[in-house]
Amino acid sequence: MNYTLHQLEVFLNVFEYQSVTKASEAMYLTQPAVSIQLKKFQEQFKIPLFEVVGRQIYITEFGKEVAHAAQKIIEEVKAINYKALSFQGELAGTLRIAIVSTAKYVMPYFISDFMDKNQGVDLIMDVTNKASVIKALENNEVDFAMVSTIPKKLKINRIELMKNELYMVGGKDYNHKGKWLSKGEFQKLPLIYREQGSATRLAMEKFIESRKISTYKKMELTSNEALKQAVISGLGYSIMPLIGIKNALAIGDLQIIPVKGLPIVSNWNLIWLSSKNMTTIAKALITHVNENKQAIIRKHFSWLETSNSLL
């Protein structure tokens, strides 16, 4: 046997994604490069690791055993690398963050320089809805969470990052008359909501309830991107965070519909449990964000301060 660590990583990715194409995308390699390494790895064994039926790849029982062993080997190699970096005085280990789905337009900018400067830090970032984010934080499954509304039942510390504004939006073909959308016109619009557990949905429902608006038709989608595409296509209307629709507004695919009481304004927050025993990596990230957040906001989000040009 003379297989390499790289071949183990390739096979493990093929096992996880059940696809050479998806494995190549995950590893930032070309599909032929992955196929060649997979072939060389298979040549080390007399028993098939996988079968190809049509265009679908299936891992054999033997292949699954090899994949589990490969996972353990790669984890041990990472542990060695972490220890080496630690002895050199560098940060090493895993940083775990859970963020609400619309925070994916924000959080990467606050950690990209940190990750670039600390090559020994691996990042696991789960993008989901607010309910799942808070559950992960409460169960101590993550170091940090990024949310726009603070959970009331948890004792947390936080860094306030930047404002989050939600507007009523429609597709380019909507023809609005008058300065503001009237209550009667609002009630005629088919509305699209995010799923239950989403902070955006909660904000939208609270606003509609506070205005005693009876909704005409209700649809539900489970991601901000899907919702945005639905509104662009003319399927319906929604109240959405400005942070996720900048480009669609700029090119005219979406438009802001003026409604009294909007935008809904909250703030993005990086939060963590007050009782959590913070790792060296987590403490370093807190320092990084506190020291650099204003510069990051000016560099990447100054357009929010002049957002009237998009409205």
Give the CATH number of the domain where residue 55 resides: 1.10.10.10
Q: By residue range, what is the domain housing residue 74?
A: 5-87
Mean pLDDT score, 193-215? 91
What is the helix (H) or strand (E) element at residue 112, kind and residue range? helix 107-117
Residue 49 and residue 82 share a domain: yes
Q: What is the CATH number of the domain that holds 301?
A: 3.40.190.10
| Selection from 138, 136, 134 nearest residue 147 by Cα | 134
Looking at residue 308, its pLDDT comes to 55
Residue 260 and residue 168 share a domain: yes
* pLDDT, mean over the chain: 91
Question: CA 304, CA 301: separation in Å to the nearest integer?
Answer: 6
Percentage of residues in the chain having pLDDT higher than 70? 97
| pLDDT surpasses 60 at 309 | no
| pLDDT surpasses 70 at 171 | yes
Higher pLDDT, 90 or 249: 249
Residue 271 and residue 158 share a domain: yes
Residue 252 and residue 275 share a domain: no
> For the purposes of burial, counting CB atoms within 10 Å of the CB of 206, is it exposed (0-12), middle (13-18) or buried (19 or more)?
exposed
pLDDT, tens only, 109-166: 999 999 999 988 989 999 999 999 999 999 999 999 999 989 988 999 999 999 999 9
| Beta carbons of 145 and 158 less than 8 angstroms apart | no
Mean pLDDT score, 223-230? 92
**Total domains present in the chain:** 3
Mean pLDDT score, 214-237? 90
Residue 148 and residue 222 share a domain: no
Domain boundary among 34, 65, 87: 87
Residue 205 and residue 185 share a domain: yes
Residue 211 and residue 141 share a domain: no
Residue 204 and residue 55 share a domain: no
| pLDDT surpasses 70 at 306 | no
Which residue type sits at 101?
S
Residue 242 and residue 169 share a domain: yes
Which residue shows structure tokens 């959308």?
Answer: 181
Is residue 311 situated within a structural domain? no
